[in-house]
A and B are shown apart, each in its own frame.
Chain A
Amino acid sequence: MPLDYQIAERTLANGLRVVVSEDHSVPNVTVNLWVKVGSRHEVEGRTGFAHLFEHLMFQGSRNVASGEHFSAIMGAGGRLNATTWFDRTNYFETVPRGAMDLALWMEADRHGYLLDAVNQENLDNQRDVVKEEKRQSYDNVPYGNAIIDIYAAIFPKDHPYHHATIGSMEDLDAASVQDVHEFFRRYYGPNNTVLTLVGDLTPDEGFDAAERYFGSLPTIATDARALAYPLPPLPGPLRDEHIEVVPSDRLHVAFRLPVDNTPEFFASSVAMDIIGGLATSRLYQRLVRREQIANGVSAHTMGLVDGVSLGFIGIDVADGCSADVVEAAACEELVRFAAEGPSDVEMESAKAQSERGWLSSLASQEERADHICHHVALHGDSGYINTFLDRLDEVTAAEVQQAAAWWLVPESRAVVAYLKQERVAQ
């Protein structure tokens, strides 16, 4: 089914790229901004800073009081948030059409004039909040730090993706108001930002509103560094073992993958699905259904821009079974898949499930706006949401096999193992 979501695009004189996707199905507008700065831009000693900075964007700006961003937008019937990731920071709200101007005005105020409101007090407060976010999501739950360990194992030290977006407590402690000023001046400007509006508006209404509120924001000097050199697969297997108080053994088998938005990445992503993502995946069939040595298998693929992407397979080892036996079986399946490639049915299944997943993710204005911003900000392609399925459809079984044979072999794996403490101690 060819997709034909309406896309109109314009770049303002100050460099702000604006995309409008008209959709009158509900009387809402989603405002979504991607700023091309994320944790990959952080420097040593300041990990976690891009995310901490994102929190400060809710603490007021020149004409907006601290906390008012939440209260004013929610009080107008909006839902909003922001997220930070390796490659970018995004800010978004979905509001009734009649509150779109307020949302854009507030976004422009903080994207243009945040520093008027930043002070030691709100930095200290949000530093505390972010530390609790880290404790809640990583430090106080079983396996919580596994994802951080995966990044550290799979990406070399000094690589932009070696450290997690959440950063370290020490580095969060070290962040200063001065850092906030420098970071804002360096990265926050219209020419380093993409604005997408999806919903109950015409392209002209969107472009006019963007010009009205963002048109006066000054262009910043961008000093985009060159992307990191493309990383090949790991030259040999790595293992990072943690013996902890966890309810059961869990293995994370991680791989480097090719850069996002390339045929090679799409092929490797299909391979990850067939190996570990589908309910009929090789690993699920063998480990969970047939041998029953694992309770669950999941595959995760993260497309990234800086020379490399990431894929990993999570395996929950069944009680009384050996993590080593499970890992050996998984490696056998990797070798087998690399040698024989996918069957027709596997290709059909992976593509069918990807299609449903993609269409589901486009079902809401919020996610559609996010996909548009993503592909304009990181790949310069505003039409991606309409063309992705066609590109995926072009992936052949031979390409999937090739990708697997190069990227997804046991010799190139990093295993982050969380093993149950009491059993090992016996």
Chain B
Amino acid sequence: MTQHESVVERPEVSAPEPWSFPEAQRAELANGLGVVSYDIPGQYVISVRLAVPMPLDREPREREGIATIMARTLDEGTARHTAEEFAQLLERKGIALGAGVSESGLIVDVDVPKRNLGEALDLLSQAVREPVFPGNEVSRHIKIRLAEIDHEHAVPGQRAALEFISTYFDPAERASRPGAGTKATISAITPADVAAFHTANVVPCGATLVVAGDLSQVDVVSEVEDALGSWRGAALEAVESPEAARAADAARIVFLDRPDSVQTEFYIGCPGPDRRVEGGWAAYQVLGFVVGGSPSARIDAVLREDKGFTYGIRSGFRPRRHGGVFLTSGSVRADSTTEALGLLLEILDKAREGFTEAETQAGVDFIGRTAPGRYATADTVADEAAGLSLEGLTTEFTTASLRALADVDAQVLTKAYRRYVTGEWTVIIVGDASLYAEGVRGLSRGEVAILPA
């Protein structure tokens, strides 16, 4: 083949245009509800998020999962409408309404075409303020949650994640148990429990309502005031719980036996920081990318592109409200289990020796320069603002973190990694133990406990 028809010379990349995170407008209603809006021209679907701080350790120990059941039944019957009527009111206006809970609180999310924003805020208000938690709806959602638990246990990645929290965290910690509850705690929940939990926790004071989208000719504060201004509720005393403690014996290997698995799932973790970490969060975003964020990252360069053991393994620092976890997870061909785990731990450990300037720069540029695209839509901006509000942060944090990337070099990156990654891994494996547990033992990475999956 001749070369003459080859494409033109490789172009240089020119510096990116300046960009900043969409600017927030802030207000607070008399009832203590914060209102944050982002006008993003051209975003015709408006994203509304109501974030209510509600740390999961407020759940009664024997009713864990009650926050999830409450979130799922907010729109299943209100003072004015039955569950079916409410669903119909939402759908006729093209409104999507959902709700879920995290470690830090409840987020109700609503997406709606701009012209129906008023109706959407009204229905959101009814769901949040006037739910009646009918007995048959609560019991239906309990049954669905019980079935969901069986499904979670059947999917290797989810099974591994569940075993990870119970191995990693001290058993006294809420974080060691499933956020959405276990069969025993879910089964114990009554509609009266849900109603009481709702009354105690879902209050305007301290909550944040985020509205993002094309807001030209929309008076956001006035619309929110109309819908939620008369919402009342006593604010709970804020009790800051400390960082969830790691279990004393967390650094070990648990092999969950899932006979005949054609792949083996890994879920590997050690402590990490939260967003307020000294020295800044930016370095940890870059680390996630450099270690396990792409096919060219350290892990997949070996396990995928060289060995062909995996479709992809991902690493990342997952911040919690206080403290965090550095997680690496993914699946490999079953018969590569031992070699893959050995390589994986070696790559993670060896990264303590340091990162190159080139890979650091690639990570800095990826995190920084993808930001305009990652935050281009109303839903991503609203999600970011709502999530951060539960941590007591605003999107100023996002802006500042992006700016701080400029100061991340190889030395900063290496120091940040060494600060948390000490080689004391909690390793969960889901696969065929009869075939591969011995090999894993042979890696001499510590005791290997074999449990049924």
Report yes or no: A132 in contact with B361, Cβ–Cβ below 8 A. no
Knowing A140-B262, A319-B143 are in contact, say whether A133-B94 is a contact too (CB < 8 A).
no
Residues of A within 8 Å of B377, CB to CB, are 363-364
Which of A23, A131, A352 lies in contact with B94, CB distance below 8 A?
A: A352
Chain B residues with CB below 8 A from A124, complex form: 308
A11 CA to B377 CA in the complex, in Å? 31
B376–A28 contact, CB under 8 A? yes
**A364 CA / B45 CA spacing, docked (Å):** 11
Task: Judge whether B376 and A365 touch: CB under 8 Å.
Answer: yes
Name which residue of chain A comes closest to B155, CB basis: A141
Chain B contact residues (Cβ within 8 angstroms of A): what range?
35 or more
| Chain B 370-391 interface 0/1 with A at a Cβ cutoff of 8 Å (1 = within) | 1011101111000000000000
Kindly specify which of B65-73, B108-116, B235-243 makes contact with the partner chain: B108-116
Q: Which residue of B lies closest to A130 (CB)?
A: B311
Return chain A residues, CB-CB under 8 Å to B250: none
B339 proximal to A (CB < 8 A): no
Residues of A within 8 A of B18 (CB): 27
Q: Give A286 Cβ to nearest chain B Cβ, in Å.
A: 11
Judge whether A75 and B154 touch: CB under 8 Å: no
Known: A26-B376, A140-B262. A356 touches B45 (CB 8 A): yes
The answer, among B5, B19, B115, B263, for a CB contact under 8 Å with A135, is B263
One digit per residue, 1 when the CB lies within 8 angstroms of any chain B CB and 0 when it does not, for chain A 261-291 equals 0000000000000000011100001001100
Q: Mark A120-154, 1 if CB is under 8 A from B, else 0.
A: 00001111111111011101111000000000000
| Contact pattern, A 362-390, Cβ under 8 Å of B = 1, otherwise 0 | 11111000000000000000000000000
In contact, A102 and B10 (Cβ under 8 angstroms): yes
User: How many angstroms between the C-alpha atoms of A79 and B371 in the bound complex?
Assistant: 10
What total of chain A residues lie within 8 Å of the partner, measured CB to CB?
84
Residue of B nearest to A137 (CB): B311
Given contacts A78-B370, A132-B263, A279-B91, contact A109 B7 (CB under 8 A): yes
With A96-B16, A289-B83, A352-B94 in contact, is A280–B262 under 8 Å at CB?
Answer: no
Residues of B within 8 A of A216 (CB): 5, 7
A295 adjacent to chain B (CB < 8 Å): yes
Across-interface contacts of A130 in B (CB, < 8 A): 311
B1, B156, B261, B374: the one within 8 Å of A116 (CB): B1
Chain B positions within 8 Å of A70 at CB level? 294-296
Residues of B within 8 A of A348 (CB): 92
When the two chains form their complex, are residues B296 and A67 in contact, meaning their CB atoms are under 8 A apart? yes
By the criterion CB–CB under 8 Å, are B41 and A353 in contact?
no
Query: How many whole Å from A148's CB to the nearest CB in chain B?
Result: 15
Chain B residues closer than 8 Å to A141, beta-carbon distance: 154-156
- Any chain B CB within 8 A of the CB of A155? no
Determine which of B84, B91, B92, B370 lies in contact with A77 in the assembled complex, contact meaning CB atoms within 8 Å: B370
A410 interface residue, CB < 8 Å from B? no
How far is it, in angstroms, between the C-alpha of A57 and the C-alpha of B84 when the chains are bound? Answer: 50
Q: Is B188 an interface residue (CB 8 A)?
A: no
Tell me the smallest distance from the CB of B222 to a CB of chain A, in Å: 23
Q: In B39-55, which residues have CB < 8 Å from any A CB?
A: 40-45
A316 touches B (CB below 8 Å): yes
B431 nearest CB neighbor, chain A only:
A140
A94 contacts the other chain (CB 8 A):
yes
Residue among A279, A292, A319 with the highest chain B CB neighbour number at 10 A: A279
B262→A248 contact, CB < 8 A: no
Chain A residues contacting B58 (CB-CB under 8 Å) are none
Whether A140 contacts B156 by the Cβ 8 Å rule is yes
Q: Which residues of A contact B309 (CB under 8 A)?
A: 128, 132
Please give, as numbers and ranges, the residues of chain B lying within 8 Å of A75 by CB-CB distance: 361-362, 365-366
Contact check: which of A74, A116, A127, A142 meets B362 at CB < 8 Å?
Answer: A74
Please provide the chain A residues from 45 to 81 with a CB less than 8 Å away from any CB of chain B in the complex.
58, 62-63, 66-67, 70-71, 74-79
Query: B14 contacts A213, CB within 8 Å?
Result: no
Quick one: given A98-B13, A356-B112, are A248 and B150 in contact (CB under 8 Å)? yes
> Measured between alpha carbons, how far is A200 from B18 in the docked complex, in Å?
13
What separation, in Å, do the CA atoms of A289 and B41 have in the docked complex? 39
A247 CB–B CB distance under 8 Å: yes
Distance between B93 CB and nearest chain A CB, rounded to angstroms: 6
With a cutoff of 8 Å between Cβ atoms, the chain B residues found around residue A98 in the complex are: 13-17
At the interface, yes or no: A97 with Cβ under 8 Å from chain B? yes
Closest to B149 in A: A247
Measured between C-beta atoms, what is the minimum distance from B374 to chain A in Å?
8
The closest CB in chain A to the CB of B258 belongs to A140
Interface membership of A108, Cβ < 8 A: yes
Q: Which B residues are in CB contact (< 8 Å) with A27? A: 16-19, 372
In the assembled complex, 16 residue pairs joining A and B whose CB atoms fall closer than 8 Å, in A order, are A63-B7, A67-B295, A67-B296, A71-B294, A74-B294, A101-B11, A105-B7, A112-B7, A116-B1, A132-B331, A132-B332, A132-B333, A142-B154, A279-B87, A319-B143, A359-B44
Ranked nearest first, the 8 interchain pairs of A and B with the lowest CB-CB distance are: A77-B369, A128-B308, A352-B94, A98-B14, A27-B17, A101-B11, A349-B91, A75-B362
- Give the interface of B toward A (CB within 8 A): 1, 5-8, 10-19, 40-45, 83-84, 87-88, 90-96, 111-113, 115, 140, 143-144, 146-148, 150-151, 153-156, 261-263, 294-296, 301, 304-311, 331-333, 361-362, 365-366, 368-370, 372-374, 376-379
